[in-house]
Amino acid sequence: MNLAGICAGLLRLFGGRVQTAARLEAEAAEPPDPLQVGLDLAATGDPAGCLRLWLAAEYLDIDEEKLRIQFLLLDALRRRLNAGPLEEEEGVSALIKEFSLSGLPGGPELLARCRSIRLARLWRDGLLEDIAVMADQTDWRQPAALAVQAKALCRLLAAEEPIAPSLARLFINAWLTLLFHPEAGPQNERLRQTLLDFSAERLRRQAARMSGGAGLLRQWEELISILESLRNLTKEPICAPALAFQAGLAERHCALIKSGRAAFADETAWLAAGAAYSAAGESLLLLREGREEDALAELPDDEGDSFAAWGAAEVRAACGLRFLCDRRLREAEQVLTGGPAHWTAELEETLLDVLHDELDGAELAASLGILALLPPGSGAADAFCAALAAQAARLRADGASPRLLAAVTAKAAALRPDDEAARKLHEEALLNLELARINEAFACDCFAEAARVAAASRFPQAREHFFAEAGQAAARIACGGCADQEAAAYVLEELQAACSAVDAECCSVGKARL
C-alpha cells in the first residue's frame, strides 16, 4: 500500500471515531424522558418519586398511568403502616395529603386509620390537648378513636385548671357516646352509673367556673335521656347528635327515633330527640354555642318533617328570647312571628319585664306583635293587661299616636274581657282615634273618608265632631276658601253628599250660602 492509501485509511478511521464521539455527546446532551424515568422509579419501588417527577414536569395527559402509580403508592403506604404503625403514621399521612390519595378507593380508610394511630401516639405521649384538637378529624365510628378522645377529654375535665366551654361540650358528646357504646363502653350498668356520677360531679365543678355553665349541665341531662331511650331501640352503636352529624349517622338515628315513639317518656321528649338529629339539628347545635344568628341562618328551608319543624320552633323561641333580653325588640318580633315558635315561661317572663320599661312607639308595637303569640287562657294575662294599661297611661300623658294608644288598649282589653277599667280605657282610645281620623280627612278635604269614619262609628261624639268640622269647612268655603264660584259650588256639593252619608236628614250644611 502506497503512502496515499495509508493516509486515506487513517483519515477514515479517525473521522469515524470523531463522528461516533460527537453522536454520543449529542445523545448525552438530550434530556431524559421524564415519563420513562418516572416509570423506572416506580418499578424500583419508589412510586412517590415517580409522582413527584411527573408533577414537576407538568405531565397532564397521563391520567391512566398516574392513577396506576397512585394505587401502587397506596398499597406501599398500607404495607408501611402495617410494619410500624406508631413510627410510620406521620410520614404516611403526609404522603396521602401530598398526592391526594384520600380521593381514591381505600384512601379514606387509610387516612382514618392514620388518624386513629396518631390519637394512640398522642395518648401514649400524654398530649391530651393535642388529642382534643383532632376532634374535627376523628372518625367517631371507630371505637378505639372514640375511646381515646373521650378518655383524654375526661382527664382534662378532671384537672384543676378551667377548660373552655367548647371543650366541655365536646367532653359531654364524646364521653356519653363512649359510656353508651355497646363495645367500647362499660359492659355492666353498675360501672356505667359509677362513671356517670363521677363525670357529672367533675362537670359541675367546671360549670361553676364558667359563664353559661347551667346550659352545659342541662345539655348533659338531656343527652343522657336521649341516649338512654336510643339504647332501648337498637344494639348498634349510638352517638350524640354533634358526633352523628360529623360521622354521617344523623339520618340513621333520626329514622330510629321516628319508628320508636314508645321508647320515650312523652311526645315532647320524642320530638326533642328527633329534632336533635333532624335537618334542624345543626341549628340546635349552633344555638348551644351561643351563635343565635348563625343558628337562624342554618334553619332548613323545608320544615315539613315533624322533627325539623319542632327543632326550628325551638331555635326561633331561643333566639327570640335572646333578642328580647338584649332589648332588640324588632328583631325578636321578626324571629318569633316569622314561623312557629315555642312559647316558654322564660319568654313570657322576659316580655313582661320589657313591658314594664319605658318603650318608644316602635318598641311597643314590636312587643304587641310578640304578645299576640300568648297562648289563650294564659295565667299571665292579668299581669300583661296591667302592664299595657300602665303603658297606655304613659302614652296618653306623652301625647302619643292615637293609633298606637288604641292598639295597646285593644290588647289589654282582649287579655281581660271582663275588666271594666280596661274596656273603658280602650273605648276612650278608640274614640280619640276616630276623632283623629276625621280631623286628618278634613285637613286634606277628603270629606267622603271623614263621613265613612263617622258613619261607621258607634260613638255619638264621632258624628257630632264630624258635623262640627263640616260646619267649619262650609264657613271656610263661604269666606272665599275656593278659587272661584264654580269651584266653591263643587266643593260644597261634595261636602253636602258627605253629610248626607252620615245623616240623610241633616240640612245644616245646606243652609250655608256662598
Query: Does 490 reside within a domain?
Result: yes
- Residue that terminates a domain, selected from 250, 275, 300: 275
- Which helix (DSSP H) or strand (DSSP E) does residue 28 occupy? helix 3-29
Range of lowest pLDDT (67-71, 331-335, 442-446): 442-446
Query: Does 306 reside within a domain?
Result: no
Residues 211, 213, 217, CA angle at the centre, nearest 5°?
170
pLDDT tops 70 at residue 3: no
Q: What is the pLDDT of residues 165-189, one digit of tens each?
A: 999 999 999 999 999 999 999 989 9
CB atoms within 10 A of CB 505: 5
pLDDT of residue 512: 42
Query: Does 144 reside within a domain?
Result: yes
Q: Which three cell numbers stand for residue 225?
A: 335521656
Q: 352: burial class by Cβ within 10 Å (0-12, 13-18, 19+)? A: middle
Q: What is the pLDDT of residues 438-476, one digit of tens each?
A: 888 888 878 888 888 888 888 888 888 888 888 887 877
pLDDT of residue 61: 65
pLDDT of residue 11: 45
- Residue that terminates a domain, selected from 229, 252, 275: 275
CB atoms within 10 A of CB 162: 13
HSE (side-chain half, CA atoms, 13 Å) at 385: 20
| Structure confidence at residue 306 as a pLDDT band (50, 70, 90) | very high
Q: 406: burial class by Cβ within 10 Å (0-12, 13-18, 19+)? A: buried
- Cα gap 185→459, rounded to integer Å: 76
- Cα gap 55→66, rounded to integer Å: 10
Query: Does 426 reside within a domain?
Result: no
pLDDT tops 90 at residue 434: no
Query: Does 74 reside within a domain?
Result: no
| Structure confidence at residue 160 as a pLDDT band (50, 70, 90) | confident
Number of domains the chain is built from: 2
Average pLDDT over the chain reads 84
Select from 327, 345, 375, 374 the least CA-distant residue to 388. Answer: 374
pTM exceeding the 0.75 threshold for the entire prediction: no
- Residue that terminates a domain, selected from 230, 251, 275: 275
The mean pLDDT value for 2-7 works out to 53
| Structure confidence at residue 12 as a pLDDT band (50, 70, 90) | low
pLDDT of residue 358: 84
Query: Does 85 reside within a domain?
Result: no
Query: Does 236 reside within a domain?
Result: yes
pLDDT tops 50 at residue 510: no
Select from 178, 126, 185, 116 the least CA-distant residue to 152. Answer: 126
Q: What is the pLDDT of residues 18-68, one digit of tens each?
A: 455 555 454 455 567 778 887 888 788 888 888 888 887 776 567 788 888
The mean pLDDT value for 77-91 works out to 88
The separation between CA 407 and the C-alpha centre of its own chain, rounded to angstroms, equals: 34
The mean pLDDT value for 273-294 works out to 93
The mean pLDDT value for 288-306 works out to 88
Range of the domain at 198: 140-275
The separation between CA 205 and the C-alpha centre of its own chain, rounded to angstroms, equals: 30
